[in-house]
Amino acid sequence: MIDIKTVGVVGAGQMGSGIAQVCALGGYDVMLHDVSQERIEQGIAHIERYMTRQVARDLIKPAAMEAAMTRIKPATELQSIGGSDLVIEAATENEDTKKTIFKALSPHLAAKTILASNTSSISITRLASVTDRPGRFIGLHFMNPVPAMKLVEIIRGIATEAETYEVAVQFAQSLGKTTSNAEDFPAFIVNRVLVPMINEAIYTLYEGVGTVEAIDTALKLGANHPMGPLELGDFIGLDTVLSIMNVLHEGLADSKYRPCPLLVKYVEAGWLGRKSGRGFYDYRGEKPVPTR
C-alpha cells in the first residue's frame, strides 16, 4: 500500500489553504498551487494567521506551527506537484474548471500518485473519467473551516480501487479527522441534507414568512443550531450554495431542489456572503446587519 509523505494541493483559497494547513500539521510535506503567485502567497498568509490564532488559544504549540509552516512550499507551476504521493484538488465548485485541472495534471503525475477532489457535490465518477487513473481517484470532502471541522466525507467513484479507498481513509484519519463514507450521488451526504435546508430558509425569506433575523433566530434557538441557515449560507458562499442546488436539481430531476429565485438574484448581484462583504447580511460595518 502506498505510503503518503507528500501532498499537492490545487487551490489556495479558503478550502485549499485549510487542507494544506492540516496536512502540514499532520507531518506531511505540502506543495500549494494556484493560478498566480499572489494567490499562493495570500493562501500561505491566511494559514499563518489562522495558526497564530490557534497558538494564542493554546490549541497548537508554537513549535508545531513553526514546523508546519516550513513544510508548506509554494508551487507556481501546476506540473511541479505531479510527483506528490497524493494530489488534492480544491478549486472552485465548477465541474468544467475541475476537469480542466485534472486534464492538465495527468501528463505530469507519477505512476504512484493518487488523485482526490474536495468537491462538495460533483460526481467523482465523472471527474475521474477525464484522468488517466480512475482507479486511483477518490473524493475527499473536507468541511469548512477545515482546521476546526472533524469530518471528511470519503466518496468512491465507480472505478475507485479498494487500495485507493483504504489509503484515503488512513490519510484522513492521520489528520485527526473522522471519516464518513458516501455513495457517489449528487451532493453526497452532508450537502444533500444541509444545502436544501439553506435553500428552504431562503424560500421562507422570499415568501415573507420571516425576516433574515427572525429566520436565523428561530433555527438557532428552536433547533439548537450554532448558526442560522442564512448566516451559514453567507459563510459557505451563496455562489457555492447555488452551485450545489443546481447539481442536485439537474442530477436528481426533482422540483424540490429548485434553487430559490432570491438566491439566484443575490448571486447575480455579486452578493455572495462574507467573502464579498454582502449577502443576507452586510459585513462592511462593525457588526453584520441583515440586508432584508
- For the annotated catalytic residues, the residue numbers are 120, 141, 153, 191
Q: Which residue bears the cell 436539481?
A: 249
Per the rule left: phi > 0, alpha: psi between -120 and 50, beta: everything else, 188 is left
Reply yes or no: is the peptide bond before residue 145 cis, omega within 30 of 0.
Answer: yes
Give the cell for residue 184. 457517489
Backbone angles phi, psi at 105, to 5 degrees: -75, -40
Backbone angles phi, psi at 155, to 5 degrees: -125, 120
Nearest residue to 64 via CA among 117, 27, 10: 27
Which residues have CB under 8 Å from 73's CB, separation 6+? 29, 30, 31, 32
- DSSP3 helix / strand / coil % (the chain, rounded to 5): 50, 15, 35
Give the cell for residue 222. 428552536
SS3 280: coil
Element (H, E) at 119: none
SS3 273: strand
Confirm if 264 and 239 have CB atoms less than 8 A apart.
Answer: no
Confirm if 80 and 52 have CB atoms less than 8 A apart.
Answer: no
